[in-house]
Each structure stands twice: as C-alpha cells, then as structure tokens.
A and B are shown apart, each in its own frame.
Chain A
Amino acid sequence: MKKRFGIPWLTILAYVVFVFTMIPLVVVVLSVFTTTDYPIFPPIGFSWKWWISAFQNESLVRSFSLSLGLAAATAVASTTLGTLAAMAIVRYRFIGRDLISTFLTSPLILPAVLIGVGLLQFYVLVGVRASFYTLWIGHIIITVPYVMRLVSVSLAGFDRNLELAARNLGASALQTFWRITFPIILSGIVAGFAFAFIISMDDVTVTVFLTNPQIVTLPMRIFAQWEYWNYPYISAAGSWMIFFAAIVMVVIERTVGLGKVFGVELERK
C-alpha cells in the first residue's frame, strides 16, 4: 500500500488543509502575548500581561466557571437520561417505540435557533425567569440526541448471550447490568458524556435567547463583547477553552478513541 501513492500534490494538499484547520486556534493563543491593546498576529513584542489581566477579570472568570458548571451538569443529566432512554429503545419493544425514538432525537435536525426562540417564548408564557436551570433544560435538549445515538450504537453491537450467561450463572438483573452490560457499553456512555459536555460548553445559538446579564456563559460573553472591547484578554479567555478542549480530546482518545466517537474506523483492515 505504501508506495502506491506517488502523488506528492495530494500529500501537500493534506498538509495545507491541516494547517487551515489548526491556524485560527494557534492564532488566538499566540495573539495573547502581544504588548498592544488589540489582538494581533504575529504578536508585537512579548508579554504575559494579557494572560494576567484575563485572570484578574472577575466577569471572565465567573463566566468560565459558569460554563464549566453548566457543561458538567448538562453532561451528567443528558448522559443519565439519554442512556436510560437508549436502553429502553434498543432493548425493548413497546407501543410508540419508533415515534418516541424519532421524537427524542429530533433536536438534531431542528435548527438550533428554533429551539432557542421556542424555549424563550415558552418561559415568558409560563412566567419563568431566566436562570441557570432554564438554561440547563435547553442544553439537555440539544445534547441528549448525541448521547442516545452514541449509546444506541454501542448497545446495538452487543452480544446479548453474555447477559443470558450471567443470569444463568445466578446473577440478578441489577448485577448483570453493572458487571456485564455497563462495562461493555461504557465507551458509548463516555463518548456521549464528552459530546454533551463539549456541545454545552460551545453553545451560543440556543444560549443567546436564554441568558440574562447575571448568567453569561464564556462563549456568550466573548460573542457579546468582542465587537466593542476586543482586548487581547478576550483571546486569553478563548485560549482557556482551547486548552480545556485539548484535555477533553486527550481523555477521549485515551478512553474510547476519538475516531470511534465520530464513527470512523481508524485501524487498518
């Protein structure tokens, strides 16, 4: 297979594309080192002052911890609820199963804007004020379909004889779940958790309709501020999220493999 590829332009193109995908992230991180009052690449001079000023900026730090908390709460809720629902849908036959399955994964196809404006109007109608919890509900709705799909995939490729064997050997239904089923579908659950976390942490399109000045997630703050105060500390806050995403990526890669999460087989056949 190796030398079949005598086409250097294809290699060149692959690396050009690679640079294209990475360059905006590299630029954001490096531009923070500038000494100027605006982000610029390559940075002019070298200083740590914008990193320090980002850490001293109370509202940025508060937004970052809010984003982390919201993403964690969303991932926990979505993974739990989504895994249970996926088990019901893959494992059991019941009335309305297909309909329920389509219904619960439909937020994937709906434009996010529609989900955002729908929730906004609904909250206004029933008189609920925007809070962490109203935002949390919105984030659960947009992340749960990913969990359900990832868990369903790992459940579908599952040999049920393993469970029957455990039951025959005297294990209870609950024991069978924790000692057999759960470890086998764990990769799907971890992938679902990571996806839910990242999507919640990323979201602006739904969040923009559900925030108030007290609850501003970090991407929301960057989105709202960059136009007026585009100081390099905004890029510094963005860099925190890049570092965080890098950590999540390493965790996924070490546990389940990033390719598997995205449904690509990376091993050579």
Chain B
Amino acid sequence: MPTRRRRLFLIPVFLVLPLLAIFLVFYLPPIAYTFIQSFYKFSPMKGIIKEWHLGNYGKFLTDSYYLGILWRTIWLSAVVALVCLVLGYPVAYYILHMAGRARGLLVLLILSPLLVTVVIRSLGWIILLAPTGPLNRAVMGLHITSKPLPILFQESGVIIGLAHIYFAFMVLSLISSLQRIDPSLPLAARNLGANTVQAFLRVTLPLSLPGVLAGSVLVFVLSVGSFVIPAMLGGGKVTVLTYLIYQQYIKFVNWPFGNAMAFILLVLASGIILLAGRWLERGKYSAVFQ
C-alpha cells in the first residue's frame, strides 16, 4: 500500500515536471535577471556597471520626456478601450438577439481576423490610410479637405489600428456577460410598464457592467503592452512605452534603463488588473484570456 500511494503521488509530478523545468530555466531566471539588471548602472563608454542604484527608475519618473510617453501610452490605451466599448456594446447586444445560425456566422466573421498576424493588418491600414490611399482620395475627391488627413503615422492611426485588433476581445467579453443576464428580467421590467429604452438602461445595462469593466480592462492592458501597431502605424513618430523599450535595446544598448521601463510597464498593466480584479468576472471567457 505505501508504494502504491507513493506512485500515485509521483504521477502529477511526472506530468508537470517537463514544463516546469523549462519554465524554471528559461522563464523565471530571465525575468529575475532583468529585474536585477534594472538597478545596474550604465555608461556609454564602459557599458553595464554592476553597481546598484535606483537611478534608472528615478530617471524615468522625473524626466518630463519619459513621463510624457508614459502618459501618452495611458491615454492612447484608454481611448482605444473606450472606442472598443462604444462600438462593441451594440454589436454584442445585436449578436445575442440574432437567431442561432446568423449569430454564429457573425461571431465567426468578427473573430476570424484575430487569426491573421498583426503585422499584416497594420500593412492593410497603412495602404488604406496613406496620403494617396482610398480614404484620403475619397475625402479630397468630395472636397471635404484639400490636404490629406493626418491619420497615418499619427496617434489617430495608432488608435484605429489598436481598436481594430482588440475590438473582438471586447465583444467576446460583453457577450459572455450579457449572456448571463436572465432574459426574464428585462421582460419583467417591460411588463411593469418600462419602455424598451428604460428596461435597457435600468436593467440590462447595470447587469452587464462586469462585462463592460472586464472588456475595458482587457483592451487597456493589451493596448499598453502592444508593440507592432504603434511601431508600424505610428511610423516611429508616436512613441509609446513598448517602442521606447525597443529603442533602448536596439539603438542605445542601455539595457538597465530598458529593463527599468519594462518593469514600469509591468506595474502599469498589473496595477490596472489588480484594481479591477475584484469586479473581474471569472466566467467561461476568462478561462481563455485572463
């Protein structure tokens, strides 16, 4: 009996060990090492100096240039979350009230672009928003403006691109929350004399708030951490935190400073998650994207 019990104990260990080993070698030490290095000094002449100081964090949090980039990252992401919410809510609501087959098809069509790499979707937006692209030719052809609209390589272009890729996540989050509302509740409100708008505003909307919050937090966090869209649609002119980190590594080789910024990014993202955490629903959907 004792051998049998020991064997039973060993089964989960054998199952989890291969993956755990990879993570303990290639995941935990790199992140820990990055954190340690974020306190090291750097000089352009001598490279990385192994002396501890808080200067990298201090430099970022006191310099108005870096704070400006941090602020831009935050508000860009907040606008993206808002755009996704405003566009996504009616769509999620509409999808839920469609008949079975049509509903499946529409969800499929909204989800399918998620399978295509972000780089290619950015390429599509660059062609669309270019000064000689279809949008600007249409706008100028209609004599709305005489000059091409400044969208590409501007913040508005980045917002469009980010909203495009994260829109589906918002819709998913809203659907899973709207789905959980008992359909008899808005009907009861109607029976008690409320009109459609009142029933929606006083019953459905408040009950869907967890989904609204979950979706907004998800889109915000994803936007804060996004790199390809700001890099391509910003054309190097819309610097956000991820792009700044990339520059530190590729151009300036000041790795300790880049590390400090990567951890500031982590604090920003996880801070928002923790703040919203208590309201974040743990439904089916959160099983896939946390």
A residues near B, CB below 8 A? 1-2, 4-5, 10-11, 13-14, 17-18, 20-28, 31, 39-42, 81-82, 84-85, 87-89, 91-92, 94, 97, 100, 103-105, 107-115, 117-122, 125, 137-138, 140-141, 144, 146, 149-150, 152-153, 198, 201-202, 204-205, 208-209, 219, 222-223, 226-227, 234-235, 238, 241-242, 245-246, 248-249, 253, 258-259, 261-268
Contacts and interface: CB of A to CB of B under 8 A. Distances in A.
A113 B12 contact: no
What does DSSP make chain A's interface, helix, strand, loop or mixed? Answer: helix
A20 B224 contact: no
- Sorted nearest first, the 7 A-B pairs with minimum C-beta distance are A24-B124, A118-B30, A88-B15, A92-B12, A122-B30, A88-B12, A268-B100
A111 B269 contact: yes
B19 interface: yes
A71 B270 CA distance: 28
Interface of B: 9, 11-13, 15-16, 18-20, 22-23, 26-31, 33-34, 37, 87, 90-91, 93-95, 97, 99-100, 103-104, 106-113, 115-128, 130, 132-134, 164, 167-168, 172, 175-176, 179, 224-228, 231-232, 235, 242, 245-246, 249, 255, 258-259, 262-263, 265-266, 269-270, 273, 283-285, 287-290
Contacts of B15: 84-85, 87-88, 92
B16 A31 contact: no
A241 B117 contact: yes
Contacts of A28: 120, 123-124, 127
A23 to B, nearest CB: 7
Contacts of A118: 27, 30-31, 33-34
What does DSSP make chain B's interface, helix, strand, loop or mixed? Answer: helix
Contact of B164 (A20, A141, A263): A20
A117 B287 contact: no
Contact of A111 (B28, B118, B132, B242): B242
